[in-house]
Structure 1
């Protein structure tokens, strides 16, 4: 990316903007509008989520271009619950930058691994980052739809 990017902790007041970014990012992959509408609840970022988890935003000139949500998982595992890049910034290295930041945060929490319930379109990205597919998990939006379950050892 040519512009200066700042990765910082999200503010509760950004919940609505981050939710909209997540939906734009999901829609970028060609999903039909009905599916995107069904994703709205699952992709909603709340003020409570921002207050209780590691939520970090990548911004340029005050505009959020991507974000992730890192939560505690079982035992010594972290869960990368959300990771989205605005379509205007896809393919410019922002996802990798957010990934590296999330990995550093996870290591700082003492996690030994990251779990990712990945969108099928994101599986290749996570593989390039070093994650491996360890199974499948049912979508919370369409239970009959299976998603790649990825794991990254820290």
Structure 2
């Protein structure tokens, strides 16, 4: 990311407490840069609720689709939420590791 790359960041709250954060980053395409939920809240439906809030925010920001370079363990969640796999991309952190590349069309 450079200082010229537009980013949109949201903090997701429940009952006045932050439980997650998501952000979009515009490069050649829009990317879901972060989608993080506090691990102590997993299993309470906050991920699903935050996803729906994120889609509403994407619509508000006129983002018609975005890509996700997903952790392999998170891919099932993203697919359940409507993302579809379009390929793989090399990890920028670990050599010789490929990550699922997903696309979400915002309707």
Specify the TM-score bucket, using the shorter chain as the normaliser. 0.7 to 0.9
Match of 1:131 in 2: 83
1:75-103, Cα deviation, whole Å (9 max, x unpaired): xx421100011111112111112111221
Match of 1:84 in 2: 36
4+ residue stretches of structure 1 with deviation over 3 A? Answer: 60-63
Q: 2:72 aligns with which of 120, 136, 139?
A: 120
Matched, 1:107 2:59: yes
Match of 1:53 in 2: 7
Unpaired runs of 5+ residues, structure 2, are none
Q: 2:50 aligns with which of 63, 73, 98?
A: 98
Match of 1:69 in 2: 23
Distance 2:36 2:23 in 1: 9
Deviation at 1:108, TM superposition (A): 2.1
Distance 1:105 1:120 in 2: 25
Point out the structure with the larger strand share.
Answer: 2
Distance 2:94 2:45 in 1: 30
Distance 1:96 1:107 in 2: 17
TM-score (ref. length: structure 1): 0.60
1:138–1:146 Cα contact (<8 Å) kept? yes
Pairs aligned (count):
102
TM-score (ref. length: structure 2): 0.83
Deviation at 1:60, TM superposition (A): 3.9
Tell which structure's C-alpha radius of gyration is larger: 1
